[in-house]
Amino acid sequence: MEGSSSDKLIVVTREPDGIATVTINRPKSLNSLTRPMMVDLAKAFKALAKDNSVRVIILSGAGRAFCSGVDLTAAQDVFKGDVKDPETDPVVQMEQCPKPIIGAINGLAITAGFEIALACDMLVAAKGAAFVDTHARFGIFPSWGLSQKLARFIGPNKAREVSLAAMPLSAEEAEKLGFVNYVVDQNEVLNKARQLAGAIMKNSQDLVLRYKSVINDGYKLDLRQGLAIEKERGHEYYDGMTPEQFKKMQEFIARRSSKKPSSKL
């Protein structure tokens, strides 16, 4: 196992089974983000995206918070810095990452932390965790997608309540709205995220990557356009398959159908 020293504020751990864990490691400040941390987070996802040994990425926060947002003592440095550079933008790099990203939300995800959670593909949250949008409270304009994504994920009326009134969205309520996949005990968050990662890794890596891409790309379009890209990519996929690959697929399906179905998550 490769690891980084505990004094690093963004810690990346690669494991032999194909899971990589990215940890925001500034627990005394509730994992608030400085400009260098944002750059390191972006670089971490860019590197993991290219690493063929990594199949699923888990993003978590050390201590009792996931991420309490931007460190506002350095607000000008963050908001007037090179925030338009996609190379150093963690949310852009997460969105460009072809591999599934599971957010392990162990506590508060506030403002920029909320936006980072929105950039994950699936979320496992601790009981009592919450998502809070304080942009309106502090006079900060959202720039990592919160104003657009949240309404699409939980509906516009609830999103307006969360953002305009700065009302916390509990993990339990987020699960009911379909934003959070699982709510578990605090000490089970990483285990559940790993279990979910393990279920993903049992499947065809090529198809997992293609499937994530077609879901995420299609979600940005209307249904007619989304169905069109599914059909287009489907034809492209099957056109590229050899007779041997079709035969292997049929043999695999025949073997699977003769076995009992595996237990669900």
C-alpha distances (whole Å) from 139 to each of 32, 136, 164, 167 are 18, 5, 11, 16
Q: Give the chain's mean pLDDT.
A: 92
- At position 25, the amino acid (one-letter code) is N
- At position 205, the amino acid (one-letter code) is Q
Nearest to 152 by CA among 178, 187, 124: 178
Residue 6: pLDDT above 70?
no
Say what the pLDDT of residue 3 is.
Answer: 42
Say what the pLDDT of residue 246 is.
Answer: 84
Q: Average pLDDT of 147-171?
A: 97
pTM given for the model:
0.91
Q: Average pLDDT of 31-50?
A: 96
Paired tokens of 100: 């599934």
Give CA–CA dist 129/108, Å, rounded.
Answer: 5
Domains with residue ranges and CATH for the chain: 10-202 (3.90.226.10), 205-258 (no CATH)
Residue 209: pLDDT above 70?
yes
Paired tokens of 243: 């007779």
State the virtual CA torsion across 91, 148, 175, 173 in degrees, nearest 10: 120
